[in-house]
Every structure is written in C-alpha cells, then in structure tokens.
Amino acid sequence: MDISGYNQLIPHVASSKKYYVISIEGCKLNRYSNEAGRYIRRIMPILPRGIPFLTSRHYTNPLAELYASSLPGDIIHHINADDSFFLHGMLRFKKKKRLVATIHQPLKIFKEIMPSTWRRYFRRLDALITIASREYKYFKKALPGVKVVHIPHGNNNQHFKGSSLNEKVGICIGGWQRDHETILKAMKIVKHHHPEFILYIINRRKPAEYGKTDSNVQFRINIPDSQLLDFYREAAMCVLPLKDCTANNAILEALASGIPVITNYVGGVRDYTDIKCASYFKPRDHDDLAAKIISVLDSKKKLKKMSQAALKRSRQYDWDLITEKIKTEVYVQT
C-alpha cells in the first residue's frame, strides 16, 4: 500500500510554488512525448549497466523527472535517489535550481546498487536527507560539503484507527528484507502455547520455497488497501523479523494503529521504536522470537500498555510534522 510511502510528501508540498517534489513512481514515458524522447537520446549512452533495480521501468520513468525539473520551482527534491541513477541527469539543471535528494536503502544495498562513482554526483547535491541515523553518520562523513540531515520517514496517521487487539490475530507485512524463515520456525513453538493465535503474512506473493505451512500461519497475497487496513484494526501485534532496514512502513503503520511491534534490533529499527512499544528478539533466533510473542499474548496488561505507547510514539511521525521539518530544516536553509 502507498498510504504511508514517501510519495506522500508530494501532496503535502503540492501547493508550493517554490518546491517541486519528484518521484519515479507512476510516471509514464508517453506522457512526456517528444520532450522525454529528447532526454532519452541524450542520456542513454551514459546509463549505468548491470545494476540491480535498474529495470526498463527505471529507464523510462525517471525521464519524467528530468522533464519535470524544468518546471517552475527554486528547489527540486528527488525523493528516490537510490532507486534510480538519474540523479546525475538532473544535475544539468543545477545552475538554475537547488537539488535535494532522499535515500531509503540500507547502506549495504545502497553500495551494491550504486556504481563506485556515486560520490561524484552526490557531492553536487545541495542537501541529502537520510531516514535512519546509521545512514546519516555514513553520508555525513562521506560527503563533506553537502548538507546531510536526518529526518524520519513520515506516516499518514489519520488513515489508521486504533486496533481492537484481537489476541487471536497477528500480522507480518511485506516481503522486502523480511526473515520469514525465522517466523515459520517460531510459530511452530507458539502453536503449543497459543493454538488459537494465527499470524497472517501479507505480501505480494508467497515464496514457493515455503511450501505448506502450519495452520497458524496464513498468507494473504495482493490484498487491497481496505482489507489491509482491516488487519491493522484487528491485530494484537505486528511481527517483523528483518534482515536490514532504514525506515519501515509496516512499523510506522503498526504504531499508528496502536499495535505492539515484535522485531529485531537492526538498521533503523531503534530510530522508530523503543522498549515501550516494541519487543526485540535476537536476529535469526526463532526460540527468542517465539518467547517474545508468547510473552505479549500471556499478558493483556502488557499488550494494552504497549498499544498505548505505540499510539503515542506514532504522533511524532505524522506526515504533517515531517513535512514541516523538511521545509524548515532543508528547503528553507538550502
């Protein structure tokens, strides 16, 4: 779902004539016709090759960005700077505009998808926004002379209502950088203590290698946003074993729903949670994960207390507040 995605920054600044926020999502080459055609002929010879994530979609969609960056506006904000390498193409407008970029991927993945020459282009930015403190520390040191700031990812809290905390329902949202193998092993243990508890793994697809799972693990594939919101309004917890992350939409959405989060301490997890609203298990330790799930299910008092803490924590990530931080700490000062 895109209710909480970084693209939500776009409508929050849409009324401004000074700022123009750019996203690679949803742009179609044919919308820009001849103008886009001119750009593709100019930059195709210098496109990087063999980079993961650089699919045919990325060859066409960012062309809209280049075209859009000729529109009125003092600042162009490229919100997916690590999803495409068209940032260097946008630098051709730098004489007329100031360029801001946001990166989302964990450091390891960023380094894998970017050519070794990425610093050459990022050093020409006027400002770079990171959404996790680990990445902030790295880029602050790697890009001297560039204004690097750490501003959290936002969430549209108004779309989420407090959960009923049904103790028979748990959710695991998404597939990117998820450790589903640990979940499946942990749920075998949980079943002996709370056989009524069902964990719904909600993803775009069910990996074939998982095969048949126990009855207390159910997959929901490609469900509509309305149904996903229903899960958020019912679940007692959000279980998220992660391999790595910066910000995580599922965590932000769970907090806004008043759902305790059970996850492992990796990447930016501690930037967005604390021990009041989340319970942390050892990475890849299914016994520890099972123990954390059981601990929450065993105590209604603990569940309710964590739920209240989650709602309170979520308020600081509302997109209205985050947008204002971006405007005052980046746009105005750039």
Domain regions of the chain by residue span = 6-154+318-331, 157-315
pLDDT confidence of residue 60: 38
pLDDT confidence of residue 84: 52
Percent of the chain with pLDDT over 70: 75
Task: Decide if pLDDT at 256 tops 90.
Answer: yes
Instruction: Please calculate the CA angle 193-277-188 and round it to the nearest 5 degrees.
Output: 25
17-26, 74-83, 226-235, 281-290 — which is least confidently predicted?
17-26
Average confidence score pLDDT of the chain: 81
- The pairing of strands 147-150 and 127-130 is parallel
The predicted-structure confidence for 110-134, as pLDDT tens digits, reads as follows 988 887 878 888 888 899 999 999 9
What's the CA gap between 2 and 203, in Å, rounded?
Answer: 14
Instruction: Tell me how far CA of residue 255 lies from CA of 52, 79, 309, in angstroms.
Output: 32, 23, 8
Task: Decide if pLDDT at 150 tops 90.
Answer: yes
What's the CA gap between 74 and 97, in Å, rounded?
Answer: 5
Q: What is the pTM of this model?
A: 0.83
| Average pLDDT for 271-297 | 97
> Can 6-154+318-331 and 157-315 be said to share one CATH topology?
yes
| Average pLDDT for 143-152 | 96
Instruction: Tell me how far CA of residue 246 lies from CA of 70, 178, 212, 286, 318, in angstroms.
Output: 31, 13, 31, 23, 17
Look up tokens 């009324």; give the residue: 15
| Average pLDDT for 250-264 | 97
The predicted-structure confidence for 279-288, as pLDDT tens digits, reads as follows 999 999 999 9
Percent of the chain with pLDDT over 90: 54
Under DSSP, the state recorded for 152 is P
| Sign of the torsion angle spanned by Cα atoms 43, 75, 133, 58 | negative
Name, in order, each residue with C-beta under 8 angstroms of 33's C-beta and a sequence gap of 6 or more.
none
Name, in order, each residue with C-beta under 8 angstroms of 270's C-beta and a sequence gap of 6 or more.
none
Neighbours of 142 (CB within 10 A): 15
pLDDT confidence of residue 27: 36
- Chain mean position to CA 98: 25
Task: Decide if pLDDT at 52 tops 60.
Answer: no
pLDDT confidence of residue 210: 66
Q: Which residue has the higher pLDDT, 202 or 23?
A: 202
The CATH number corresponding to 157-315 among 3.40.50.2300, 3.90.400.10, 3.40.50.2000, 3.60.20.10 equals: 3.40.50.2000
Neighbours of 77 (CB within 10 A): 25
Whether residue 98 contacts residue 132, with contact meaning beta carbons closer than 8 Å, is answered with no
Look up tokens 């209710």; give the residue: 3
pLDDT confidence of residue 89: 54
pLDDT confidence of residue 54: 32
Q: What is the CATH number of domain 6-154+318-331?
A: 3.40.50
| Average pLDDT for 64-84 | 62
Neighbours of 20 (CB within 10 A): 22
| pLDDT classification of 185: cutoffs 50, 70, 90 | very high
The predicted-structure confidence for 1-41, as pLDDT tens digits, reads as follows 567 788 788 777 765 555 555 544 433 333 333 444 444 44
